[in-house]
Amino acid sequence: MAAFLATSSSPPAFLCFSSPSHSHFRQSSLLQCWKVSVFKVRWLRTFSSTTSMDWNRRRNFIYAASQDAEEAFKKTVEVDKLIDTLRDANPNELQKLVVENVLAFNESFWIRLAARTDTCKSEDDKKDYEELAISVMSIVDRLVHKTKEKIESATDVLKEILKPVVDEVEEVTWPPRDPEALKLMEKGIYQREQEGQLDEGFLAEVNAQLRQAKEDGDKPGLEAMLQKVLQLYASRVLSKRSYAKKGEEVLKAEQFLEAIIEAPQEEWNKLLINGMTVGKGEISPEEFYAVIKKRIERTLIRTEGGSYQQRILTEYLKGIQSRAEEIVQVLQGKP
């Protein structure tokens, strides 16, 4: 027995003791023990590898689920905070709060408000929530109605502006066959801007019509006409304030920019060539770009962030710079 244990080349997983008279049984038992041990090792390795992969997947799933749960919890907290603020507000404050948070009154808001109403412990609290829901819905409905009226009003204003350049059968040709038609359209824009009719609602309507014309792709005349409306609007608004004088000093670069702003786009090339040092003028491209940058900064400060007005005015100024850069490249012989 001792000799066997000393010379055996197969390391058994379990020590099996037996008498010499049962050598066959001993060998059979050892073989069974060895097979069992090999099976267990292989099974453990497979289990370990599979478990590791499954655990990684499970851990990623748990992490993603916890992230979603955390985001949902944060949103619920925000909605609850808004509901509490609305509930504590007086009628005047409520109207203002609804206007300021109009985009927050989505499906999630109403579901949460209904849930809080259902879980009220007292009838008085439940009644308060029901009255709050009615008040908020009423204000939102009025806002939607006013917005619809503004859109209809903006559409009417745009139609009146475009009337001189649209013929009786509403066919759009650009440029207009009658040169006087463009002057009448320009006059209409200036008059309505002075009357305050070219507000955000109007600009939104023009942008919506322009986007639709681009998507359709079969109305190039209408697209050019609407772009002209926005260009004339930007030129008018930017021309109302001058920065060309600093005390008694005339700032030539600012004066040059203001001349470009007021001019029709068809005249920009000639003015830029005659005004910049790369052509026949006195203003270096660097000076010109600097005053454009300064004017854009002033525009961003003086207009509401993210408004159509801000975007239209800054795009107009950037368009002037792009045209100037093209002129400089051509005159300097750069590709």
Domain end call among 240, 269, 295: 240
Same domain (yes/no): 154, 141: no
Residue 8 predicted with pLDDT over 70:
no
Residue 17 predicted with pLDDT over 90:
no
Report residue 66's pLDDT band, with 50, 70 and 90 as the boundaries.
low
Closest to 193 measured CA to CA, from 312, 25, 283? 312
Same domain (yes/no): 200, 228: yes
Q: Can you give the pTM of this predicted structure?
A: 0.58
Predicted local distance difference test score (pLDDT) of residue 42: 46
Report residue 257's pLDDT band, with 50, 70 and 90 as the boundaries.
very high
Contact, 226 vs 209, CB < 8 A? yes
The more confident residue out of 21 and 326 is 326
Please report whether residue 228 resides in a domain.
yes
Collapse the DSSP code of 261 into the 3-class scheme (helix H, G, I; strand E, B; otherwise coil) and give the result: helix
Domain end call among 177, 208, 240: 240
Domain end call among 189, 215, 240: 240
- What domain range includes position 82? 65-113+120-147
DSSP 8-state class, residue 99: H
Per residue in 166-214, pLDDT (tens digit) is: 865 556 677 777 888 889 999 999 999 988 889 999 999 999 999 998 8
**DSSP string for 150-182:** HHHHHHHHHHHHHGGGB-TT--B-SS-SSHHHH
Please report whether residue 304 resides in a domain.
yes
pLDDT more than 70, % of the chain: 76
Same domain (yes/no): 279, 215: no
Collapse the DSSP code of 279 into the 3-class scheme (helix H, G, I; strand E, B; otherwise coil) and give the result: coil
What is the number of domains present in the chain?
Answer: 3
The more confident residue out of 132 and 13 is 132
Q: Distance between CA atoms of 216 and 226, rounded to whole angstroms?
A: 14
Same domain (yes/no): 156, 231: yes
Same domain (yes/no): 222, 271: no
Predicted local distance difference test score (pLDDT) of residue 178: 81
Residue 10 predicted with pLDDT over 60:
no
Q: Up-side HSE of residue 183: CA atoms within 13 Å toward CB?
A: 3
Mean pLDDT of 250-265: 95
Per residue in 209-235, pLDDT (tens digit) is: 999 988 888 778 889 999 999 999 999
Predicted local distance difference test score (pLDDT) of residue 230: 96
Residues, the chain? 335
Report residue 64's pLDDT band, with 50, 70 and 90 as the boundaries.
low
Closest to 301 measured CA to CA, from 314, 286, 318? 314
Same domain (yes/no): 83, 102: yes
Distance of CA 161 to the CA centre of its chain: 31
Predicted local distance difference test score (pLDDT) of residue 36: 44
Average pLDDT along the chain: 81
Please report whether residue 26 resides in a domain.
no
Q: Exposure string (b/e) for 187-208, b if CB count within 10 Å is 16 or more?
A: ebbeebbeeebbbebbbbbbee
Predicted local distance difference test score (pLDDT) of residue 330: 92
Residue 40 predicted with pLDDT over 90:
no
Which H or E run contains 245?
strand 245-246
Predicted local distance difference test score (pLDDT) of residue 332: 87
Report residue 9's pLDDT band, with 50, 70 and 90 as the boundaries.
very low
Per residue in 99-156, pLDDT (tens digit) is: 888 888 888 899 999 999 999 888 888 888 899 999 999 888 888 777 666 666 888 8
Same domain (yes/no): 286, 225: no
